[in-house]
């Protein structure tokens, strides 16, 4: 009969050191506040936006409620759509181009988008 004997080696019963956990910070969200939405609506009323868009009916461009259905209210979409307001473009909603609006600031365009995407 053969017997196996195990001999503990120094340190084999020691606890392994705990790893330091560093919390990961999430990027700050750009959630639409009631003030942003109200200011965005006011900015749009002063602009030429309603010459081509209506809230719930397609005119030259898409209805704003249709835009809100297509794009969730996320920080990424606020940025993308604000850039479209500033640069203009075509192809997403048809071939009729949207005019560029370089006179609008990025911050104001973002507030306008926050208003549009609140129209669900």
List binding-site positions. Answer: 49, 53, 98
Asked whether the CA dihedral 37, 38, 43, 49 is positive or negative, the reply is positive
N- to C-terminal Cα distance for the chain?
Answer: 80
Please give the annotated binding residues for heme c, written as ranges: 49, 53, 98
> What b/e sequence results for 14-39 when a residue is b if at least 16 CB atoms lie within 10 Å of its CB, and e otherwise?
eeeeeeeeeeeeeeeeeebeeebbeb
């Amino acid at each position: 009969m053969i017997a196996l004997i195990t001999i503990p080696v120094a340190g084999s019963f020691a606890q392994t050191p705990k790893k330091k956990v560093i919390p990961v910070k999430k990027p700050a969200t750009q959630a639409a506040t009631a003030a942003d939405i109200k200011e965005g609506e006011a900015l749009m009323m002063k602009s030429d936006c309603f010459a081509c868009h209506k809230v719930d009916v397609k005119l030259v461009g898409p209805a704003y409620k249709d835009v809100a259905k297509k794009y969730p209210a996320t920080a990424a979409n606020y940025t993308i759509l604000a850039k479209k307001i500033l640069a203009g473009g075509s192809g997403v909603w048809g071939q009729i181009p949207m005019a560029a609006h370089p006179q609008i600031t990025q911050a104001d365009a973002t507030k306008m988008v926050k208003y549009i995407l609140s129209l669900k």
